[in-house]
Amino acid sequence: MFLYIKQKNMKFVYRRSIYETPIEIMFDREYVSTIVNQLYKQNIDDYIITAVNDKKLKSFIEAENKKNKIYKNLNTIQITKIKENENDEIKNILNELSKDSKKLNSKLDDILTKPVYANNVITKSPAISPNNKKSKDDENTFIPQIDTEGMNIKTNIKTEKSITDASSSADVLRELLKGL
């Protein structure tokens, strides 16, 4: 993935190694969330994102790609809307550190290593109230009490059709176990 976002009046490129941490960002954080969401939904591996009408930036990325021969199947996605208000935190950091690129990289690295996600329907987790009583089953094993009250979540679950007949195997096994 090659993520490149230009923010109005703030030209700075943060570059990570393409393999281990494959994100290159110029951004504010909410904007990045928007982009990442689009990438996620489209489920594509190699792509470039540029700001709308920024031909210079797009050319630069394409030239970089050609030079480094990193992305064979390049997709260019154009973002249709750029957020107007700039992130104050990022702006301040950039202003403060703009004369020292090493410090700037380091600071941005700190920020970028934190995940960026969007707010969404939040469900409540169970109240876990570990007690200090040891299990009756095993005096040496501490087991927390697990209260599942209020649990209600949705997870990404894949399903596969069962290809063996569990019931008939169970009948054979039941007979076998009887004989033991």
Partner 1 sequence: MGKGKDVSSVEIKRPICIGLDVGTMNLVCTRSDTNETKITRNVFLPVSSDEIGLSDLSELSHIVNDDGDMFIIGEDAFKFSNIFGQEVRRPMKRGVISSDEIDAVEILTLIIKDLIGDLDGQQAYCTYSIPAEALDSDKSITYHEKIFGRILSSLGINATPLNEAMAVVYSECQSTAFSGIAISTGAGMVNCCTSVKGINVIEFSTEQSGDWIDKNVADSLNMVKNRVTNIKEKHLSLNRDFREHKNKKIRRVLEALGYYYTAMVDNTVNRILKEFEEKVDLDLDEELPIVVSGGTSLPDGFIELFQTEIEKHDIPFEISEIRHATNPMTAVSNGLLIKALATVPK
Pairing verdict, β 47-50 and 75-78: parallel
For 175, the 3-state DSSP assignment is helix
Query: Least separation, in Å, of the C-beta of 103 and partner 1?
Result: 21
Contact in structure between 65 and 48 (CB atoms under 8 Å): yes
> On the CB side of 7, how many CA atoms lie within 13 Å of its CA?
22
Q: Is 136 in the site for partner 1 (CB under 8 A)?
A: no
Nearest by Cα to 35 from 70, 78, 85, 71: 78
Task: Tell me which DSSP letter residue 134 carries.
Answer: B
The residue from 15, 37, 53, 103 that contacts partner 1 (CB under 8 A) is 37
Q: Which CB, 99 or 141, lies closer to partner 1?
A: 141
Q: Which CB, 55 or 149, lies closer to partner 1?
A: 149
Q: Is 114 in the site for partner 1 (CB under 8 A)?
A: yes
Residues 6+ apart with CB under 8 A from 58: 48, 50, 76
Please list every residue from 146 through 165 that binds partner 1, using CB under 8 A: 146-148, 151, 153-164
Q: Which CB, 100 or 126, lies closer to partner 1?
A: 126
Query: Least separation, in Å, of the C-beta of 10 and partner 1?
Result: 18
Query: Least separation, in Å, of the C-beta of 133 and partner 1?
Result: 12
Q: Is 105 in the site for partner 1 (CB under 8 A)?
A: no
- Judged by CB under 8 A, the stretch of 25-33, 47-55, 58-66, 90-98 that binds partner 1 is 25-33
Contact in structure between 33 and 27 (CB atoms under 8 Å): no
Q: Is 84 in the site for partner 1 (CB under 8 A)?
A: no
Q: Is 39 in the site for partner 1 (CB under 8 A)?
A: yes
Q: Is 33 in the site for partner 1 (CB under 8 A)?
A: yes
User: Phi/psi of residue 165, each to 5°?
Assistant: -90, 100
